[in-house]
Each structure stands twice: as structure tokens, then as C-alpha cells.
Amino acid sequence: MVRALRPIVTGRRILAAELNLKRTAPELSRAAFGRQLRNLRITGVGRRGKYILFELESGRLLATHLRMTGKFLSLTADDALPPYAHVVFYLDDERRLVFCDMRQFGRMRLIRDASRLPKELTALAPEPLSDEFTEEYFLETLSRSRRSLKQLLLDQTRVLGLGNIYAVEALFLARINPTKPANRLSKSRARKLYQAIRQILREAIDAGSTLRIDLADGNGSYFETPERFWRVYEREGEPCVNCGTRIRRIVHGGRSTYYCPRCQRN
């Protein structure tokens, strides 16, 4: 997503910013949203965990979390506004960057000083593909938790960047039962899981994430990937790619969890 946004917005000036749905940016009134973003140049786009960070002139950041259905579209002046266009940025190249969000869980937050990040960002675990996310860090984190591995992997303050799909996939790849308590996993299996997490994230990035994203193509819509590259996610009842056993679905911690009852027996 960030890679798709960068070439479209970097260097552009925001001529006007319209907040059409108050809850998308709950800390600001619509008037304040427009006033505080107007005339600022976007100097870059960064990311921390699942937060997209628009870097703005004067050291400000606009942090965006897409949650379930949030997405950005890049529209020309002639394109009609799509449904659920909750935020519209009018850019100085006559394009509009539009934030659409059918389910309305997505959030934006203006951070006035990029050198003083709010706790929701500073509390995040190290980036999983960075050098900081070491095997030692991961093993130590697991040994301190009695929660299930599935729940621990989704806690962004412990392991960053995995959502439900990638947590399920990493556990399958490492052949570990999702409900196993984190501190009961042997070191050798924990190392396998560490490798699996990094492999799954690299594969996902190469495949264009869970959605194929090309903001600059046509009207800048998203396209669902034509083929699912997931090994177990949403494959309930289908044969396991390793052993042929039917994939099972359970609800664990309120989320659908898919696993092979044979490969991931314990």
C-alpha cells in the first residue's frame, strides 16, 4: 500500500482536505481537519506496523489505519466519487486522493510533531523484517507469555505486522497448533515459527499483499488477487497441501483460525 501511494502523493501539496465522516478522524472537527491539512506538502510516505504515515511539511504526520475495509484511491478531476468516500484530499496536480471505507473502522490521526509519537505507535513491536526483530527477541517474547500462539502473534506490541491471515499461515508453515500456549513451545520449534513469519510476510509482499494494489492504474481501484496464495486460510474442508487431511476451522479468540489437524496436531 505504501509503495503504491508513494509515487502518487510524494511532493504533492494538499490544496484542501475534506472529512466527510467524523468518526474517521475522531480527534478533529471537520473544520479543524480541513484547516490543519490545507496547503501542506506531502514530503513522503512511511509505515510503522499497519499504520500508514503521511509525512507532511512542518514535521507533522497523518497516521492512517485501514482496519478492515479502508482503502485509498487516486482519482482524476473527471472521475466520479466512489461510494463511502469518507475523506477527500485535493492535490495540486488536479488529482484527488480518496479514502474509502465501507465498514467505517478505518482511522486517521494528525500527529503534530513526528519526533513525539503517540503511545499507539511507540508501543509497537520491532518490524518483523528488520534486524531488530531477532530470533532472541522472538524466543524471549514467547517464553514470557502463557497466551496461545495465535493470540500472541496478533498482539502488535509483541509481534508486529501479522493479521489473522498471516498468523494462520505462519503457524501452518511451521506445523504448530494455533492454540498451543506460547511458553510451551520448544526452542527449535520457536525458531521454525520465527522463520515462517518472515517467509510468509515476504511472500505476501511479493504477491502484492492480500490485495493487488495499483493506485495509478485506471481509476486507481484495487483488484483482488485472481488466485489465493494462502495455504490454509479460508480452505476449510479442502485437503491439506502437505498430507491431504481436511483443513479445519475453529473460532479462537473471536477470530477464524484454520489449521491442519494432522500437520499441526500439537
Residues that bind Zn ion (CB under 5 A): 240, 242-243, 245, 260, 262-263
Q: Which residue is nearest to Zn ion (CB)?
A: 240
- Residue of 204, 142, 133, 205 lying closest to 176 (CA atoms): 142
Give the shortest CB-250-to-Zn ion separation in angstroms.
Answer: 15
- Do β-strands 51-56 and 60-65 pair in parallel, antiparallel, or remain unpaired? antiparallel
| CB closer to Zn ion out of 44 and 261 | 261
Burial of 122: CB neighbours in 10 Å, binned 0-12, 13-18, 19+:
exposed
Buried b or exposed e, range 216-226, using 16+ CB within 10 angstroms = eeeebebeeee
Give the shortest CB-194-to-Zn ion separation in angstroms.
Answer: 21
**CA pair distance 101, 110, nearest whole angstrom:** 18
| CB closer to Zn ion out of 48 and 150 | 150
| CB closer to Zn ion out of 59 and 239 | 239
Give the shortest CB-14-to-Zn ion separation in angstroms.
Answer: 51
* DSSP 8-class letter at 82: P
**CA pair distance 172, 189, nearest whole angstrom:** 12
| CB closer to Zn ion out of 103 and 265 | 265
Give the shortest CB-166-to-Zn ion separation in angstroms.
Answer: 19
Give the shortest CB-231-to-Zn ion separation in angstroms.
Answer: 10
| CB closer to Zn ion out of 28 and 200 | 200
**CA pair distance 252, 258, nearest whole angstrom:** 10
Q: Which positions ≥6 away from 178 have C-beta within 8 Å? A: 148, 149, 150, 167, 168, 171, 250, 252, 257, 259, 264
Q: Name residue, grid cell 468518526.
A: 23
| CB closer to Zn ion out of 72 and 258 | 258
Give the shortest CB-242-to-Zn ion separation in angstroms.
Answer: 4
